[in-house]
Amino acid sequence: MEKTTLPRRNEVPLEETWNLENIFKNIEEWKTTKDEVLSAVPELAKYKGKLAESPEVLGDFLELYEKTLRQASKVMVYGSLSMATDTSDQAAQARAGQAQSVFVKLNASTSFINPELMEIGFDILREWIKKDSRLSDMGHMIDELEREKDHVRSNEIEQVLALSGEPMSNFFKAYNALTNADLQFKNARTKDKSKIEVGQSSIGSIITHKDRKARKTGFNNYADAYLANKNTLSSIQMGAIHRDVFNARTRNYNSSLEASLGSNNIPTDVFYAFIETFKKNLPTWHRYWRVRKKALGYQKFHVYDIKAPLSNDSPVIPFEQAVDWISEGLAPLGEDYVNTLRKGALEDRWVDRACNKGKRQGAFSSGVYDTNPFVMMSYADDVFSLSTLAHELGHSMHSYMTWKTQPFIYGRYSLFVAEVASNFNQAMVRDYLFNTQKDPAFQLALIEETMSNFHRYFFIMPTLARWELEVHERAEAGKPLSADIMSEICSEYFAEGYGDEVKFDKSRVGITWAQFQHMYMNFYVYQYATGISAAHALAKNIQEGDQTAVERYLNFLGAGSSVYPLDALRAAGVDMTSSEPVDAAFEVMAAYVDRLDKLVENDLV
């Protein structure tokens, strides 16, 4: 039998790759810019102890600092993107490491900024911004610094924290190197004994394969590779957990959770309320497992059946068609939005969609203030890939509009709002396709994609958020952690979510914590669920024809960090301090389960 294998990076078509030449024409230009940043570092360091001299001196410093930081950001993103598409490329790994070192040196040499600004005094700073136009954008930054004053340390401690950035980032680097380059996966096998190569860029298509044996062997072999390295993975993970605890304690936060949320001015009550709302709605998931089991006609429903195709007639959706449908679904946002998205995806090569050996797992959108956005994914010509593309282009357009609207100082948005625009795109495109693609097979495929999306963001991620909270609390209390303890916690939480409906191997499900790089991002994953909740609330207003909702949403995309995330969402039309948006999102999900149930009852599956 012919074996399905992944091509090497140099074998994929150019049009399926992103255009990093938009950042630097070649590696020599990257090196030149890197050296320029390094040469500016001593010049910036000379301002230490001098920022309080006058608004003019502060303006001179910030002018040089912004120029250098923008250059360093380009150096950094070029290095990381080069490595993401081929983690076995040693030269790309070296560039990424060099870029990280440059950033650490820059941060260490300028770590005096916040302590010195605080010494100047907030009232004086508010007077200074009226005296030098270069300081005129600092208003919200000063408010933010005043709010965070208890967590800003002395010059010396801030410098040490900045210098710790490089060694502290090595946990994430080690995890990526191990899982994306070194893990060896056994092939999946179909019932006719064909082989399918298991890899980070192919596992998604394998667990949605129509052949049940392919799904089972693919799922098991993928998990087994992580299990074979569980002790190494747990050591790396524990390092990252203790890093979070160290950072929280050093900055005078009561916990890692408070440190993560506090930086975005979000009360920890928002997190705890979300977890309780998720647990309350687990019966909706139990019902979905029952409906899916019935649709498939299985006596036993296993974890590797969760994404089994319900039809053999799934639509084939080429990349260009996906871009067309995404554009049409987002047409209510206006021509400027849609034309920018289309040009980026089809002409300017924002998207690296190739499936190749060594490509890192998952999908993401990246870029910095002086570049265009970049999307990495492994496109597979199906409705799942269409949805992933819509999701990542949502991130990209959020970044694009922030960079277009805000000055550099507010040119980033918080993690709390990061998953809103991405899920908004999916909700809009999904609704458009439900209303225009009436073929029952297509409708069924859409329901499958929808529930797969909810499964990832409204089941997997909240479950991992519960795990993340417990392992951090254990570390903060000095309780033991090990691979087996972490897996036991993980399997128990998934058991609650699966109820009596899903059969699973405890060890293979328990190792799920090791399969997500998000676990190195200190309480990031819960924001997928809050993001999808906010996204559906905002999309609903626009789908109902509220033109003011369109304007509010576009303003939200352009807000960057110029306002606090909860305030930005409230202005757009949703209050995330309430449990109402999460409950409403579960109602949306339940309605999709109803749709599927009706199709099953009418023998259309």
Structural domain includes residue 58: yes
H or E element, residue 440: helix 440-455
- Assess whether pLDDT exceeds 70 at residue 8: yes
CA distances from 255 to 22, 262, 270 (A): 41, 10, 15
pLDDT of residue 43: 97
User: Which residues are CB-contacts of 413 (< 8 A; sequence separation ≥ 6)?
Assistant: 398, 399, 402, 559, 560, 561, 565, 568
- Would residue 82 count as lying in a domain? yes
Domain boundary among 168, 192, 210: 168
Provide the 10 A C-beta neighbour count for residue 57. 14
pLDDT band at 3 (very low <50, low <70, confident <90, very high): very low
C-alpha pair distances (Å), 366 with each of 181, 282, 398, 556, 602: 21, 33, 11, 19, 44
Res. 32: pLDDT tops 80: yes
Strand-pair partners of 503 = 302
Q: What is the predicted pLDDT for the residue at 1?
A: 36
Give SS3 for 195: strand
Q: pLDDT tens for residues 312-343? A: 788 999 999 999 999 999 999 999 999 999 99
- Domain boundary among the residues 140, 168, 196 is at 168
CA distance 560 to 301: 44
List pLDDT tens digits, range 569-598.
999 999 999 999 999 999 999 999 999 999
What is the mean predicted confidence (pLDDT) over 280-294? 96
365-406 per-position pLDDT tens digit: 999 999 999 999 999 899 989 999 999 999 999 999 999 999
What interhelical angle do 565-572 and 415-436 show, nearest 10? 30
- Burial code (b: 16+ CB inside 10 Å, e: under 16) for 104-135 equals bbbbbbbbbbbbbbbebeeeebeebbeebebb
Tell me the pLDDT band of 482, cut-offs 50, 70 and 90: very high
188's enclosing H/E stretch is strand 188-189
From 168, 200, 218, the end of a domain falls on 168
Residue type at 581 in one-letter notation: P
Q: What is the mean pLDDT of the chain?
A: 94
Q: Please check whether residue 45 lies inside any domain of the structure.
A: yes
Q: Is the pLDDT of residue 2 over 50?
A: no
- Domain membership of residue 3 (yes or no) is no
* The total number of structural domains that make up the chain: 2
**pLDDT over 90 (residue 441):** no
Q: What is the CATH number of the domain that holds 376?
A: 1.10.1370.20
Min mean pLDDT across 1-15, 136-150, 210-224, 296-310 is at 1-15
d(CA 398, CA 337): 10
CA 196 – CA 208 distance, rounded (Å)? 13
Q: Is the pLDDT of residue 605 over 80?
A: no
**Which carries the bigger pLDDT value, residue 1 or residue 31?**
31
Which helix (H) or strand (E) element contains residue 95? helix 90-109
In a domain, 85, yes or no: yes
Query: Confidence band (pLDDT; 50, 70, 90) for 4?
Result: low
Residues involved in catalysis: 392
Domain range for 588 is: 319-444+525-601
Give the span between the Cα atoms of 369 and 481, in whole angstroms: 40
Q: Which domain CATH number covers 102?
A: 1.20.140.70
For the stretch 90-106, pLDDT in tens is 999 899 999 989 998 99
**End-to-end CA, the chain:** 31
| Calpha distance 576→505 (Å, rounded) | 36
Assess if residue 494 is contained within a domain.
no
Q: What is the mean pLDDT of residues 221-231?
A: 97
pLDDT tens column, 187-208: 999 999 999 999 887 898 899 8
**Residue 307 domain-assigned (yes or no):** no
* Other C-beta atoms lying within 10 Å of the C-beta of residue 281: 18
User: Is 122 domain-assigned?
Assistant: yes
Q: Would you state the pLDDT for residue 362?
A: 82
Model pTM score = 0.86
CB contact at 8 A, 475 and 186: no
Using the structure block, give the residue that is written with the tokens 């120029």.
67
- Over pLDDT 90: what percentage of the chain? 83
CA distance 289 to 268: 32
